A = this chain, B = another copy of it.
């Protein structure tokens, strides 16, 4: 590439460093920052965000982008540079459309809504949260109108998290998923098979669980030279830059599993980031409405990587054929009298719950669908915020056969809406579906995969993911990337088939 592209790269590098520095501040805030540091930290965040925003939407970047695009005319559309320019153009256009007043108003509404939500959840009092959520919704709708003055407002929001995805795509795929998944859960609940999770509920030493998780994710291929795991109130992955991708985990649960599976989940995210091609680095991307140093393609593809490691690998029989003896060696008394089969069944027990983050593989998507349907209704105007608790109860009954006793375990359980994340939930289910679509292809390309997993050999799997998914970063839109890999668009079939096979066997369904 020529001079114009290099000039653009230089401008982007400054923004990239500011955005990455801001992530260092966020990481610190959620891990080690002393309690009194919050106010000064908020000011530092605001300053870094303002400066990076100003540089990103500035005329200087606009002109440099235009010049680089002119220079790139005729370039191979599969080249890294063409991919970078496509994504930058999209993000620049989106971010330029949003006036500074909206950003400021939204930041205030967000901060207020979060505080109100936290208290309302404690009090299980949706009415207290209602005005704040109405404000958030109104602002998100006006944001969507900026981007889609004629089109679907929900599409405009969804596009922030899953570029190019439409509500109609989701409706189609969820329509296929819903009846079959509801039916599966029903069959499981009627099964007489013995699946006992009580063995996991014994106290397991937390430090040993933590270390076992570290051991596993190192085997998976998480690069500790370019990352680390620290304690935080909840698990997350954060990219400070693409050679410093950290994960966090909680360390409170004595029951076996949540520490390990959180490590594997976050390692799935983090290995994606660590695998983005060096040639794509140094260009910030828009993730949600915020600039991000990641240059990953979408939340759905991201989630496919974490779900794959957590579930398709971590909850598979092959994986535990390899690791169960090791686990027994670490916890000899806790696992006394437990065999591989009982253990495998226990970590795959299906039990509908009211709480999304506690949901198992068989029910997780049902939690997402009810949220999607509600969001869609809110954004399209067919649902009123005031009606949410009742609608939530109804849908929970329909999909999960449970009735929330209060708003705390119903409509108030998730942080997302209070934070302004409307259009975000579907990406969790996209992650599930895409993980299974990729897995189907991986099994074709790596016929030996099960045996490798049994031997804790993950290098072929990681190499495949690196080549097909990670390295491409945000070069293609997510569905184009999926199509290039699988030859197919979004589909619910592989995931449904995976679920059905797995649980038919465990629960001895006809």
Contact = CB atoms under 8 A, between A and B. Distances in A.
| Copies of this protein, total | 2
What is the predominant secondary structure among interface residues of chain A facing chain B? helix
Interface string A217-260: 00000011111101000000000111110100000000000000
Q: How large is the interface on A (under 10, 10 to 19, 20 to 34, 35 or more residues)?
A: 35 or more
A243 B240 CA distance: 24
A47 interface: yes
Given A24-B24, A24-B25, A17 B43 contact: yes
A226 to B, nearest CB: 4
A34 interface: yes
B41 A244 contact: yes
Nearest to A226: B36
A223 B35 CA distance: 11
Given A37-B244, A226-B37, A44 B32 contact: no
Given A24-B25, A28-B24, A47-B18, A39 B228 contact: no
B243 A47 contact: no
A470 B414 CA distance: 45
Interface in A23-71: 24-25, 27-28, 32-37, 39-41, 43-44, 46-48, 51
A142 interface: no
B225 A34 contact: yes
A92 to B, nearest CB: 20
Contacts of A20: 40, 44
B36 A225 contact: yes
A243 B40 CA distance: 7
Among A13, A20, A27, which residue has the most Cβ atoms of chain B within 10 A? A20
A25 B48 CA distance: 13
A302 to B, nearest CB: 20
A226 B51 contact: no
A15 to B, nearest CB: 9
Contacts of A244: 33-34, 36-37, 40-41
B230 A37 contact: no
B243 A48 contact: no
A17 B226 contact: no
Contacts of A24: 21, 24-25, 28, 44
A48 B34 contact: no
Shortest beta-carbon contacts, A-B, top 4:
A37-B244, A17-B47, A40-B241, A36-B226
23 contacts: A14-B51, A17-B48, A18-B48, A18-B51, A20-B44, A21-B22, A21-B24, A21-B44, A21-B47, A21-B48, A24-B24, A32-B228, A33-B244, A34-B226, A34-B227, A34-B228, A36-B223, A36-B226, A36-B243, A36-B244, A37-B241, A37-B243, A41-B241
Interface of A: 13-14, 17-18, 20-22, 24-25, 27-28, 32-37, 39-41, 43-44, 46-48, 51, 223-228, 230, 240-244, 246
